[in-house]
Structure 1
Amino acid sequence: MTLATLADVLQPALRNGHAVAGLVCLGWEDMRAYAYAAEAEGCAVILQAGPGCREHTPLPVLGKMFRHLANEVSVPVVAHLDHGYTFDECKEALDSGFSSLMYDGSRKPLQQNIDETAAIVEMAHGAGISCEGEIGFVGYANGENSAGTEPEEAAIFASATGVDALAISVGNVHLQENQDGGLDVDRIRAIETVTDVPLVIHGGSGVPSAQRAELAHSSSICKFNIGTELRMAFGSALRASVASDEKRFDRVQILKDTHDPVMAAARRVLATLK
């Protein structure tokens, strides 16, 4: 088994100057493609179950799926809960075999976020797994606006919680379908000056690939979460498969057609970070 914790893959990334992709999963087809993309690239991968994924598939099932894939490949695979919003949800993920938890208290006042995240960290570390927290708020394209991470708050949060990774808001936005933007490098430099924890970028699909690669190799950003661009690759492959024959109805055959395009898209993401 190559199941790994977040600390197992991010600490080497921090020391050696690379990053690991946190790939947002929605079902068996994409998570399998991601695991085999990582195998082909010879690098670690973080398989992430976010709120949308958990609406579709229960956590105990997802835990078994992630662990099965970790057994299938020879590279480190992290089974990661993305955006856990309650203690009970994080506890269920831990009990379901996840090797990493992300508690999102970013909408809450600083001290409340610290206290609640610290409790998840204590639970995770007690079980021998990792925990990611978030300070500042990463908004959504055509939705909630972001609130940038203040370096001094990041320093307090990282020290007080003991998180293994720190998600920050530095111009990144969830669900962005293009790469027209870019990250605030000055803010990143200010944050990494006062923290020693691996930093995480949520909404990585909206960050230009060249900037992702540059920061992966020259900053404390050790994890880029990538979802939208890979979902777009899946959707494109699915539409092409259905359109190829109007009489097609076998979902297994249709979904099989998504594997190669999604794996290729995932390999491109992984290759820029390692």
Structure 2
Amino acid sequence: MTLVTLAEVLQPALKQGHAVAGLVTLGWEDMRAYVAAAEAEGVPVILQAGPSCRAHTPLPILGKMYRHLAEGASVPVVAHLDHGYTFEECREALDAGFTSLMFDGSRKPLQQNIDETAAIAEMAHAAGISCEGEIGFVGYAGGENSAGTDPDEAAQFATETGVDAMAISVGNVHLQEDKEGGLDEPRIRAIEAVTDVPLVIHGGSGVPMAQRTSLARTSSICKFNIGTELRMAFGAALREAVNADPARFDRVGILKETHDPLVTATRRVLSAFKGE
């Protein structure tokens, strides 16, 4: 069994100059393809259950799916709760066998965010698992605007919460479909100068591939969350499989045809985060 905590993959990444992908899952087909891609690349992978995933499949079921995949995997697999919004939700994920909890208090006042994240981190550490928090607010393409992370607040947050990883807002945006933006590297350098906690980029699909690779190798950013980019690859493969034969109706046969294209797309993502 290769189920591990977030800290167990991010600390080596921090020391060795690479990053680990946090891949947003929506169902069995994508999570299975993500593990296959990680095995092909020989790298760890973080399987993430975000709010839309949890709305579709209950946390106890997701925990069993992740653990089943980890048991058969040849690479380390992290079972990660992404954007948990309440203590109760994080507790449910812990009880469901997750090995990492991301509590998102980024919309809340600083001290409230610190206090609530610290409580989640304490619960996680007592159970032998990891905790990720978020300081600064990462917005959404076509939705809420971002609020950039203040380096002084990041230093305070890291010290007072005890998190194993810290998500920051440095020009990244959730659900972005293109890679025309880029991250604010001076702000990243200012944040990493005042804390040694591994940093996390949410909305990684919108970050140019070359910048992902550069930051993975030269900064404290050890985790990039990738969702939209791979959802687009899955959707394109599914559309092609459905359109190839309008008479088809067996979803098992149709979904099988998404596997290889998704593995290929995921391998491209994973390879960009490797060290030199």
- TM bucket, shorter chain: over 0.9
Tell me how large the CA RMSD over aligned residues is. 0.3
Q: What is the number of equivalent residue pairs in this alignment?
A: 274
Q: Deviations over 1:93-132 (max 9, x none)?
A: 0000000000000000000000000000000000000000
The residue number in structure 2 matching 1:136 is 136
- What is the letter of the counterpart of residue 29 of structure 2? E
The residue number in structure 2 matching 1:150 is 150
Partner Cα distance (2:230, 2:44) in 1: 17
TM-score w.r.t. length of structure 2:
0.99
Q: Please, which runs of 5 or more residues in structure 1 have no aligned partner?
A: none
Partner Cα distance (1:108, 1:73) in 2: 38
Alpha-carbon deviation of 1:87? 0.1
Aligned sequence identity (%) = 79
Partner Cα distance (2:191, 2:89) in 1: 29
1:13-92 matched pairs, under 5 angstroms: 13-92=13-92
Partner Cα distance (1:81, 1:266) in 2: 20
The residue number in structure 1 matching 2:96 is 96
Alpha-carbon deviation of 1:72? 1.4
Q: Deviations over 1:124-143 (max 9, x none)?
A: 00000000000000000000
Partner Cα distance (1:148, 1:62) in 2: 32
Are residues 1:114 and 2:119 paired?
Answer: no
Are residues 1:261 and 2:261 paired?
Answer: yes
Q: Please, which runs of 5 or more residues in structure 2 have no aligned partner?
A: none
SS of the aligned residue for 1:224 comes to strand
Partner Cα distance (2:242, 2:75) in 1: 33
Are residues 1:160 and 2:172 paired?
Answer: no
Q: Deviations over 1:240-260 (max 9, x none)?
A: 000000100000000000000
The residue number in structure 2 matching 1:127 is 127
- What is the letter of the counterpart of residue 179 of structure 1? K
Q: Deviations over 1:190-243 (max 9, x none)?
A: 000000000000000000001000000000000000000000000000000000
SS of the aligned residue for 2:172 comes to coil
